[in-house]
Chains A and B, each alone.
Chain A
């Protein structure tokens, strides 16, 4: 997975106050765990929504782990992002079952309705569109995950309607 292509805007180079607050809490609770790097990074991703370059540097200093190691871990796993995403994440499942049952058509439809390509965010910052690997709801294929909601077997003409519930 490649996160290097994401643009790094200059404001991400400094920690914002809420970000620092979250990081300090996460670090305080987990710094002594064995294998703390992964734990801290996943919690940061979960709670902040991304691991900014500033956060990477801060975690590296606090855990006394080289920045290169942090960056290596971040770019290895597809779960991590280094810049913020839209308010809602639309992930279309491309697992085998969904693929067979029309996942690719669903991608076309969402791109058309949202007016963005995969891995892009709408201009109003409302939605980020991406594909994901199997979410384990194969009996409802094809499946779309909007934030934590799993939506299965949505007829194509209802796609726009489905999105209306997410402001």
Chain B
């Protein structure tokens, strides 16, 4: 069925539903329902995410007219004026950046993994097939031997996108070489790094690309069954994926004798249950087997003894999603992007104190500065840049002096950070590096599975030291103790979690040692974050006595009559900062 126009609606589910119903009702009355397709954007769109202030949005294609703040009545008006009479309703246009559609990738971006995300309907396999979907699988099965596929991957230089950066072709060739009548392929969709949501978008926006990549992997290594392991926090991704698998089965793209060959392969989705350590491959497989997700020693590697003791190939969502495009466009094409050792593109989730947050895909080798300023639009409120945290809670920070560092596996590691899965958190001068380290350590300590003593006990010891520094009770020698403990935890732990847990602290000490010393010796938190080291006061001349701070104070620490200056009692104040947040005239100061 061909349509003359498409309307894509997004917003909070209930409101979007109302607008959609009104629009479709009107189109029906106007007799346009067979000419115009109305769709709801699924999940979150990559760049713009619906914010309450903009309400329900709609984009009309092919002319790309962006409407915002829609009500059911407005939708009916659009149907009548724009869709019937061809006169776009200017009063309802989205005005903030009229020249730039929100989903448009910035000039520095190159989309391979995200090429279909936000543009095709993830719930329609036909949409994916229309974008050359499953052509790569067909090509592999009917025209190429597994060895030839490996050769293309080797030329492409694709490396694991989960963070470790192991060459994908090599990993596949190990699993291929293993002798067994049963083999498995597993997709690691347990994207647990706080601040990272790249895989979520791919799974929700283009699930078939990942399925296709896995099927190709299965063909190469000789597996018949595959498992998708997706974290429970991503219900939409799980639903989308299950639907996609069913559709692929209906089309004969999963199941027996795919493309009329003797290759058979099927997939099952398994849900994670909220354990960060399950992102580690051996722990993940324990979890699929129905056990506590504790890592085990390697070797044996999963390629020889993985799921249920059988040879298993395990890759990350993004790695698999790259594979179909590499087979279609060639290894040389992929290798033409990136640096000498890090080829292709990488998705990053930019978040934190940056103007344009969201998901991006850039060629590897781009500098940190380009990502922060050109793609991200610079630091929020134009404050000074302090650092970027990459690699999540097991990565490290990149300070200002390394802003021109190329983003690739080796360069990031050389300054004590890590590529990780693609979290990219920008921090400004109002971010305290001790508090940040404490936050990451708290995460690692809570998520430590408890198997290795250095990780289980060491992270707790390190957390306690960091907590005391934040509380203003840090002692001389604490920094050195953190460094020493960090080294032992890294050395004495079995898996990536334990080995990486000290990284944020160590890299922050390396780059911001002075901030740690200020906390310990001067009892000052210059970023004004550590509560024990700051005090809130109200500037009497600025205060207009609106009582908003007093009404919002959780502990009633603020006294004052209406229209008179208010006063904060430092003895009662818990330094939560709500008063500063709600003050309409910025009369609350932090010392």
Contact = CB atoms under 8 A, between A and B. Distances in A.
Which of B12, B271, B289, B427 neighbours the largest number of chain A CB atoms within 10 Å of its CB? B271
A151 B358 CA distance: 16
Contact of B290 (A73, A97, A138, A148): A73
B353 interface: yes
A149 interface: yes
Contact of A77 (B274, B308, B431): B274
Which of B193, B273, B292, B582 neighbours the largest number of chain A CB atoms within 10 Å of its CB? B273
A95 B189 CA distance: 17
A34 interface: yes
A138 B193 CA distance: 11
Interface string B361-402: 000000000000000000000000000010011000000000
Given A108-B578, A139-B357, A140-B51, A94 B194 contact: yes
Contact of B194 (A41, A78, A96): A96
A134 B552 contact: no
B235 interface: yes
Interface in B8-23: 12-13
Interface in B288-302: 288-294
B533 interface: no
Interface residues of A, number: 53
Given A97-B357, A100-B352, A137-B44, A109 B194 contact: no
A98 B552 CA distance: 21
A148 B292 contact: no
A114 to B, nearest CB: 11
Interface string A119-159: 00000000000001111111111000000111111101100
Nearest to A2: B446
Contacts of B197: 134, 136-138
B351 interface: yes
Interface string B197-238: 100100000000000000000000000000000001111000
Contact of A76 (B44, B52, B194, B292): B292
B195 interface: yes
A135 B200 CA distance: 10
Contact of B271 (A42, A78, A99, A150): A42
B427 A38 contact: no
A72 interface: yes
A34 B289 contact: yes
Given A39-B270, A78-B273, A109-B554, A140 B49 contact: yes
A34 B286 CA distance: 12
A120 to B, nearest CB: 16
A89 B560 CA distance: 36
B308 A95 contact: no
A35 interface: yes
A59 to B, nearest CB: 11
17 contacts: A1-B274, A1-B275, A35-B290, A38-B287, A42-B273, A69-B291, A77-B293, A99-B439, A100-B352, A101-B353, A112-B554, A133-B192, A133-B274, A135-B233, A136-B196, A138-B197, A156-B578
